[in-house]
A and B are shown apart, each in its own frame.
Chain A
Amino acid sequence: SQTIHQWPATLVQPVGSPLSLECTVEGTSNPNLYWYRQAAGRGLQLLFYSVGIGQISSEVPQNLSASRPQDRQFILSSKKLLLSDSGFYLCAWLVRGYSGELFFGEGSRLTVL
């Protein structure tokens, strides 16, 4: 069965520190992967998506970057965090054959102080 793992689940970081959030998918190959951010009490904002190794598309200019070093690994990074980077980050995989259904990881909550 397909699963998607995110870590760390919770992270508290000072302003100006680096960030690395990791997402790994199991049970599928060549998935389309997505990073979304959810601000408190709000909907999801698409940050990045990737259709394959090394292929990253950015949807929103920001202090973040993404990489896809392996087929089933998607990483969200920052060199210097801002207060506005706080939020709940969700990795998602596009389920094939289901017309656009997203399968989400459990999320990573980032608090920047």
Chain B
Amino acid sequence: AQTVTQSQPEMSVQEAETVTLSCTYDTSESDYYLFWYKQPPSRQMILVIRQEAYKQQNATENRFSVNFQKAAKSFSLKISDSQLGDAAMYFCALGGGKSTFGDGTTLTVKP
């Protein structure tokens, strides 16, 4: 069975600073995909970034980047230049349609 663990239930960051959200996972698959989703207070879940396990290069989307350590089964999300609009719950997920989700990290951005 696949598992995803987010060990930080809550995180806070000062506006314009950088924050890193942690995620570890376990799977017996050799090829898989990892995702970070954002769920703002309006509640619609949206994709932030995806990483293909066979790619060694870490994915980047504007201010969002990941640190993917395949051997350690770690997949952290770094948010640079944090903005008030980044405040949300962030979910790490493993897989595709039948994704396994972590319990989420609530990110607070302080002005």
The reply to whether the CB of A61 lies closer than 8 angstroms to some CB of chain B is: no
Given that A41-B104, A42-B104 are contacting pairs, would A102 and B97 also be in contact in the complex, using a CB cutoff of 8 Å?
Answer: yes
The reply to whether the CB of B86 lies closer than 8 angstroms to some CB of chain A is: no
Q: Give the number of chain B interface residues (Cβ < 8 Å).
A: 26
Contact of B91 with A44 in the complex, beta carbons under 8 Å: yes
CB neighbours of A41 from chain B (8 A): 9, 103-104, 106
Closest Cβ of chain A: how far from B101's Cβ, in Å? Answer: 4
CB neighbours of B101 from chain A (8 A): 43-45
Docked CA distance A39–B101 (Å): 12
Contact of A88 with B104 in the complex, beta carbons under 8 Å: no
CB neighbours of B47 from chain A (8 A): 101-103
Contact of A99 with B50 in the complex, beta carbons under 8 Å: yes
CB neighbours of A94 from chain B (8 A): 96-97
Q: Mark B42-74, 1 if CB is under 8 A from A, else 0.
A: 111111001010000000000000000000000
**7 A-B residue pairs with CB within 8 Å:** A41-B9, A43-B101, A99-B33, A102-B45, A102-B96, A102-B97, A107-B45
Chain B residues in the interface with A (C-beta under 8 A) = 4, 6, 9, 33, 35, 37, 42-47, 50, 52, 91, 93, 95-99, 101-104, 106
